[in-house]
């Protein structure tokens, strides 16, 4: 697709080298005026590098950037900002102890001879918030607001400086479904007002919902560009990975063993006294992969956190390999053979300041100790073994865990779990925020672990993922287990109907 008069920003024949590594190889990228321009690709495809070049963070080794057809030099983020090109990073960068207005104008305060014009800032902040459909007070403290509203404030900060091209890197990765809906509506409104949006997301259904144009990178090269109304998710995935996505879920039938996890009438309260989990009962057998499906607020994460002991239960029994564990601490449950891969690997799954080795061995230090102390040699050997088993791509286990891609960071969390020799692995939306290629590797790893006799209970917000990976599927609705499906009986329509069905206790109420 060639550039036209509706192209506001164009990267042309961009090549970028980091040492001897080719990050981008002769890439063209068109940003269309007043459109949502989706950029997709696996981790390592070159998306972040290209966005860094457009935002002035990196300078290309060769090639040029055109703004309204004229060459421009984006030698720094400030230079890009002066041309109204702004980048919103994936991690929200705000000051929790300042007000909404103060965050919007941080570093660009409205000033007079008497100092900062606070009232003018609050008035202008209110106008920006209302433009984006928000009723939050400009005086509200940022740290007290939901993540979705914080993301809107970040957009307001960009709009306060005037913006022609707004680059958004995974803006919905930490949002709830309701917050995502609000943000996508805001993005569409910005595009309709003439702002060119560059949108990066691993959630491909968002691309087809909100995007106008999609550009696909693979291994640093441009492989496809199309109008979104001419393609579908299947096409996008095939371009990203280079083969038919129908092979994405490597399911294999397996023999299962005896019941490894048994849950009977598990009940847990919310702080307000209502029930978060209401008499949930099910079992999980060795070698079985069970999917847990439900709408937002159904209780999926709450169930896994209650099973591992992070949330208190009011009643019910939980047994691992026949031994009761519901009264035990988290550490004791791990010792008995249960481990949780949390939904938020950045905040709950990893220690950002530690190396890969330290993160992997963190939950197993007690088992690695001898009467003379911790054996560094034994720890290193054990970590290297499990890193190989899980396929973590890392040159040195002493490398900081933050240097790894999202998919490899998730493998580190799985490796930590395997170091504890679990019988039951709880996985809370384990594919969240990672690319298609890394997902495929983790799917294969799940199959391999189940084949070795591990019992896996996983949640997912991706309906196709649940259908593609699970031997059985449990459906939660408002804290109750409302349906159970075998792999052969489960369909997308049946799962959605079960998750949305009006239940007998609601009718009775």
C-alpha dist (Å) from residue 106 to 110, 120, 163, 165: 10, 14, 16, 20
Smallest Cα–Cα separation from 81: which of 54, 103, 101, 48? 54
Burial of 361 (0-12, 13-18, 19+ CB in 10 A): buried
Smallest Cα–Cα separation from 55: which of 86, 33, 24? 86
Structure tokens at 239: 């371009």
- Give the chain's radius of gyration (CA, Å): 25
Query: Per-residue confidence of the chain (509 residues) as pLDDT tens digits?
Result: 445 569 999 999 999 998 878 899 999 999 999 999 999 987 678 898 999 999 999 999 999 999 999 999 999 999 999 999 999 876 667 888 999 999 999 877 888 888 888 889 999 999 888 887 788 899 999 888 887 788 888 888 888 888 899 998 888 766 666 777 888 888 998 999 999 999 998 778 888 899 999 999 988 999 999 999 999 888 988 898 787 766 778 888 888 888 999 999 999 998 878 889 999 999 999 999 999 998 767 899 999 999 999 999 999 999 999 999 999 999 999 999 999 999 888 888 899 899 999 999 998 887 777 666 666 888 899 999 999 999 998 889 999 998 888 889 999 999 999 999 999 999 999 988 787 778 888 999 999 999 999 999 999 877 778 989 999 999 998 899 999 999 999 887 788 788 876 443 343 33
pLDDT of residue 106: 87
pLDDT of residue 4: 53
Topology given in CATH for the domain delimited by 7-245? Rossmann fold (3.40.50)
CA 8 to chain centre: 30
pLDDT digits (tens, 9 = 90+) for 308-348: 999 999 999 999 999 999 999 999 999 999 999 998 888 88
Say if 7-245 and 259-337+422-508 have the same CATH topology.
yes
Distance separating the N- and C-terminal Cα atoms of the chain: 58
Contact 197, 37 (CB under 8 A): yes
d(CA 500, CA 477): 7
Element (H, E) at 186: helix 177-192
pLDDT of residue 372: 67
pLDDT of residue 461: 74
pLDDT of residue 501: 63
Question: For 346, which DSSP code?
Answer: I
**Residues near 44 by Cβ (< 8 Å), separated by ≥ 6?**
219, 405
pLDDT digits (tens, 9 = 90+) for 13-30: 999 998 878 899 999 999
Q: Determine phi and psi for 235, rounding to 5 degrees.
A: -65, -45
- β-bridge pairing 213-218 and 196-200: unpaired
pLDDT of residue 58: 93
C-alpha dist (Å) from residue 52 to 32, 48, 89, 324, 379: 18, 6, 10, 53, 38
C-alpha dist (Å) from residue 253 to 165, 256, 430, 469, 484: 49, 9, 21, 10, 18
Phi-psi label, residue 483: left if phi above 0, alpha if psi -120 to 50, beta otherwise:
beta
pLDDT of residue 491: 84
Instruction: Label residues 53-80 b or e (16+ Cβ within 10 Å = b).
Output: bbbbebebeebebbbeeeebebeeeeeb
In the numeric block, the tokens 């309709």 are attached to 192
Phi-psi label, residue 65: left if phi above 0, alpha if psi -120 to 50, beta otherwise:
beta
pLDDT of residue 330: 95
Q: Which CATH superfamily is domain 259-337+422-508 in?
A: P-loop containing nucleotide triphosphate hydrolases (3.40.50.300)
pLDDT of residue 438: 83
Q: Where are the chain's structural domains?
A: 7-245, 259-337+422-508
Contact 382, 361 (CB under 8 A): yes
């Amino acid at each position: 697709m060639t550039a036209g008069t509706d192209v506001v920003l164009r990267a042309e024949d961009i090549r970028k080298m980091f040492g001897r590594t080719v990050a981008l190889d002769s890439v063209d990228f068109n940003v269309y005026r007043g459109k949502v321009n989706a950029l997709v690709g696996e981790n390592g495809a070159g998306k972040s590098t290209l966005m860094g070049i457009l935002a002035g963070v990196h300078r290309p080794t060769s090639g040029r950037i055109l703004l309204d057809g004229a060459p421009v030099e984006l030698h720094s983020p400030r230079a890009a900002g002066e041309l109204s090109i702004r980048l919103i990073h994936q991690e929200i960068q705000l000051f929790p102890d300042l007000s909404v207005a103060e965050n919007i104008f941080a570093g660009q305060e409205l000033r007079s001879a008497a100092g900062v014009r606070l009232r003018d800032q609050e008035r202008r902040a209110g106008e920006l918030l209302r433009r984006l459909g928000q009723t939050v007070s400009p005086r509200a403290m940022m740290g007290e607001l939901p993540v979705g509203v914080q993301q809107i404030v970040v957009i307001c900060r960009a709009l306060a400086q005037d913006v022609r091209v707004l680059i958004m890197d995974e803006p919905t990765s930490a949002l709830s479904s309701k917050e995502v809906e609000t943000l996508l509506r805001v993005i569409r409104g910005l595009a309709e007002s003439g702002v060119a949006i560059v949108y990066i997301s691993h959630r491909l259904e968002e691309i087809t919902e909100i995007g106008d144009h999609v550009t696909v990178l693979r291994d640093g090269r441009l492989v496809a560009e199309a109008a979104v109304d001419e393609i579908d998710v299947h096409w996008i995935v095939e371009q990203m990975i280079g083969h038919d996505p129908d092979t994405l879920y490597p399911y294999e039938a397996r023999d299962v063993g005896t019941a490894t996890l048994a849950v009977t009438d598990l009940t847990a309260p919310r702080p307000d006294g209502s029930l978060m989990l209401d008499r949930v009962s099910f079992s999980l057998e060795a070698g079985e992969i069970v999917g847990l499906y439900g709408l937002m607020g159904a209780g999926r994460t709450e169930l896994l956190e209650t099973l591992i002991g992070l949330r208190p239960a009011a009643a019910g029994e939980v047994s691992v390999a026949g031994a009761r564990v519901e009264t035990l601490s988290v550490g004791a449950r791990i010792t008995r053979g249960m481990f949780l891969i949390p939904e938020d690997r950045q905040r709950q799954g990893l220690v950002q300041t530690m190396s890969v080795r330290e993160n992997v061995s963190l939950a197993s230090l007690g088992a690695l100790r001898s009467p003379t102390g911790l054996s560094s040699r034994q720890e290193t050997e054990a970590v290297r073994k499990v890193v190989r088993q899980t396929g973590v791509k890392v040159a040195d286990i002493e490398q900081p865990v933050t240097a790894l891609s999202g998919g490899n960071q998730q493998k580190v969390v799985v490796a930590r779990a395997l170091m504890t020799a679990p019988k039951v692995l709880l996985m809370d939306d384990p594919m969240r925020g990672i690319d298609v290629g890394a997902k495929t590797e983790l799917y294969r790893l799940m199959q391999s672990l189940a084949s070795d006799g591990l019992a896996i209970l996983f949640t997912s917000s991706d309906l196709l993922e649940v259908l593609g990976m699970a031997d059985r599927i449990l459906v939660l609705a408002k804290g109750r287990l409302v349906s159970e499906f075998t792999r052969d009986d489960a369909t997308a329509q049946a799962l959605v109907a079960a998750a949305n069905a009006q239940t007998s206790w609601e009718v009775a109420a």
